[in-house]
Chain A
Amino acid sequence: EAGVVQSPRYKIIEKKQPVAFWCNPISGHNTLYWYLQNLGQGPELLIRYENEEAVDDSQLPKDRFSAERLKGVDSTLKIQPAELGDSAVYLCASSFSGTEDNEQFFGPGTRLTVL
């Protein structure tokens, strides 16, 4: 069974440029998460989707970040315009909320460098 797929794995852009990250969750998982991981820190939640609905986006900086999950499967996270402080790893995770333990599975992440 394929795990969570993310692309690209690495992205280098100049500040003020736009960037987008893509995530394909594990088949059948209805919940999708985007986390941000700064160097030396644990991941922090940006947004959580239940199917197509964003049910927790309280930590998403909405002035420059946006996300969508059309058809309740794949998701895209966008930053426009990117700032130097956005350099980090962006992790996507998925889970099936119908299980008792609701275990989250993570993708390999996209490492963003903003110059």
Chain B
Amino acid sequence: KQEVTQIPAALSVPEGENLVLNCSFTDSAIYNLQWFRQDPGKGLTSLLLIQSSQREQTSGRLNASLDKSSGRSTLYIAASQPGDSATYLCAVQGGSEKLVFGKGMKLTVNP
């Protein structure tokens, strides 16, 4: 059974810091990995998707990497801003097409 872990559960940083969010998964047989953002009381916004054959994806200040063999992904946020404050969730998709999520990491960026 696939399990996804995100540590730490919460992070509070001053504005301007470069951040690394970690995600680990137990079964390396994945189809893809998605990073999502969730604002309080809102749904999930897809940030980046990395296919299993890819190593990384970039969008603006975000960069996500995937090391399938070691079961790890990182989301790098450059020059963090207060508007980046949200919960970030990592999810992996296997052959069943369902997404298996971590519990998320709550990020607070202080002005």
A and B pair up: yes
> Across the interface, do B103 and A42 meet the contact criterion of CB distance under 8 Å?
yes
> Across the interface, do A42 and B4 meet the contact criterion of CB distance under 8 Å?
yes
Residues from chain A with Cβ under 8 Å of B4 in the complex: 42
Residues from chain B with Cβ under 8 Å of A106 in the complex: 36, 43-46
Q: Given A104-B34, A107-B43, verify A44-B101 contact (CB < 8 Å).
A: yes
**Chain B interface SS verdict (over half):** strand
Check A18 for interface membership: any CB of B closer than 8 A: no
> Across the interface, do A104 and B43 meet the contact criterion of CB distance under 8 Å?
no
> Across the interface, do B44 and A102 meet the contact criterion of CB distance under 8 Å?
no
A42 to B36, CA, bound (A): 11
> Across the interface, do B103 and A97 meet the contact criterion of CB distance under 8 Å?
no
> Across the interface, do B46 and A102 meet the contact criterion of CB distance under 8 Å?
no
Within 8 A of B (CB), among A74-105: 91, 93, 97, 100-105
Check A43 for interface membership: any CB of B closer than 8 A: yes
> Across the interface, do B98 and A103 meet the contact criterion of CB distance under 8 Å?
no
The contact of A102 among B36, B91, B97, B103, by CB within 8 Å, is B97
A55 to B34, CA, bound (A): 22
Check A40 for interface membership: any CB of B closer than 8 A: yes
> Across the interface, do A104 and B101 meet the contact criterion of CB distance under 8 Å?
no
Q: Given A103-B46, A104-B34, A106-B44, verify A40-B101 contact (CB < 8 Å).
A: no
Residues of A within 8 A of B (CB): 4, 6, 31, 33, 35, 40-45, 48, 56, 91, 93, 97, 100-109, 111
